[in-house]
């Protein structure tokens, strides 16, 4: 996606500026994200201003005139796949907890640094406790989702295995029935020529029968291999490793 330039107003004065929108996978987008991640983020007070927001955000409007604390953590879950989550934890000065969506929308508003802040031990302890609870709940949901995927894969494998074996066994049974019918014909054959033709057919069908038995064994071997692969993927999911990183902790004020 090429950068798109759109006119806008500068925060100070009426000068126009250009805004460039990039996908996160765009080289410049990746550079901006990586640069931002490497910046130091000491505890600070952030004042969020709703007065210039283009649209009303009901959840954030309810915080106008209030303040509190929040922290943002990055949770990485390593199992069958790598999963990353950004988890907010926070509360206001009255002690009411904020939900993830409200805190996400809060950061959609303009803000400014109000200065450094000192987060007391009790406040930090509560933030840590809520962050730990959110992380555990997220990991639990991840396990549940992995369990759903595993069960779907297991059911798909079982259906495929049943279809494979049933198809092979049916083909073998059909061949057996044909051989039985030809043997009955052989007992009733009058001439040697007729007997010879029937025996040739039986010989070919017996060869087919041996091949079909081998195909059943091969199908069963394939099923075992696929089932082992599925079990290995389950073991990788069970051997889950998690990692958390605090990105920042702030005192927030909504003006």
DSSP the chain: ---EEEEEE-SSSS-EEEEEE--TTSHHHHHHHHHHHHS----EEEEEE-TT-SS--HHHHTTTT-EEEEEEEEEEEESSSEEEEEEEEEEETTSPBPPHHHHHHHTTSEEEEEEE----HHHHHHHHHHHHHHHHHHHHHHHHHHHHHHHHHHHHHHHHHHHHHHHHHHHHHHHHHHHHHHHHHHHH--SHHHHHHHHHHHHHHHHHHHHHHHHHHHHHHHHHHHHHHHHHHHHHHHS-EEEEEEEEEEEEEE-
Regions in the chain scoring below 70 on pLDDT: 1-20, 80, 235-239
User: Which residues are within 8 A (CB) of 176 and not within 5 positions of it... i.e. 6 or more apart?
Assistant: 209
Same domain for 100 and 160? no
Q: Is residue 54 part of a domain?
A: yes
Same domain for 132 and 52? yes
Structural domain count, the chain: 2
Q: Is residue 98 part of a domain?
A: yes
Q: Is residue 189 part of a domain?
A: yes
Q: What is the pLDDT of residues 18-44, one digit of tens each?
A: 556 777 778 888 888 888 878 888 899
d(CA 156, CA 233): 15
Q: Is residue 13 part of a domain?
A: no
Q: Is residue 164 part of a domain?
A: yes
Are the beta carbons of 50 and 252 closer than 8 angstroms?
no
pLDDT at 104: 94
pLDDT at 37: 78
CB atoms closer than 10 angstroms to residue 21: 12
pLDDT at 20: 65
Same domain for 62 and 141? yes
Same domain for 130 and 188? no
Give 253's strand partners. 47, 67
Residue 225: both structure tokens together: 């291999």
Same domain for 180 and 120? no
Same domain for 210 and 248? no
pTM for this structure? 0.62
Q: Is residue 24 part of a domain?
A: no
d(CA 147, CA 234): 9
Same domain for 143 and 53? yes
Q: Is residue 5 part of a domain?
A: no
pLDDT at 19: 59
pLDDT at 63: 92
Same domain for 138 and 216? no
Residue 47: both structure tokens together: 């004042």
Q: Is residue 106 part of a domain?
A: yes
Q: Which residue range(s) make up the domain with 234?
A: 150-238
- Of the candidates 100, 84, 90, 123, the residue with the CA atom closest to the CA atom of residue 244: 84
Same domain for 53 and 134? yes
d(CA 9, CA 242): 43
d(CA 254, CA 98): 13
Give me the residue label for tokens 């939900």: 99
pLDDT at 237: 66
Same domain for 126 and 169? no
Same domain for 218 and 249? no
First to last CA, the chain: 36
Are the beta carbons of 71 and 248 closer than 8 angstroms?
yes
Same domain for 90 and 44? yes
pLDDT at 238: 64
């Amino acid at each position: 996606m090429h950068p798109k330039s759109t006119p806008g107003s500068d925060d100070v004065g009426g000068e126009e500026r250009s805004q460039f929108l990039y996908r996160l996978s765009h080289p410049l987008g990746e550079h901006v994200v990586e640069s931002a991640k490497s910046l130091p983020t000491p505890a600070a007070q952030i004042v969020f201003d709703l007065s210039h927001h283009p649209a009303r955000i009901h959840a954030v409007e309810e915080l106008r005139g209030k303040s509190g604390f929040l922290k943002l953590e990055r949770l990485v879950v390593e199992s069958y796949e790598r999963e990353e989550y950004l988890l907010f934890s926070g509360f206001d000065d009255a002690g009411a907890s904020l939900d993830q969506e409200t805190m996400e929308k809060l950061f959609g508003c303009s803000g400014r640094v109000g200065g450094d802040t000192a987060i007391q031990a009790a406040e930090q302890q509560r933030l840590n406790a809520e962050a730990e609870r959110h992380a555990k709940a997220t990991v639990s949901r991840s396990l549940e989702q992995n369990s759903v995927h595993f069960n779907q894969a297991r059911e798909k494998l079982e259906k495929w295995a049943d279809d494979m074996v049933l198809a092979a066994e049916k083909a073998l049974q059909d061949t057996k029935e044909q051989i039985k019918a030809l043997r009955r014909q052989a007992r009733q054959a009058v001439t040697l020529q007729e007997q010879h033709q029937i025996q040739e057919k039986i010989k070919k069908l017996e060869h087919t029968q041996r091949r079909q038995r081998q195909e059943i064994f091969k199908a069963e071997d394939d099923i075992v291999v696929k089932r082992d692969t599925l079990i290995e993927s389950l073991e990788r999911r069970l051997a889950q490793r998690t990692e958390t990183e605090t990105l920042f902790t702030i005192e927030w004020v909504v003006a």
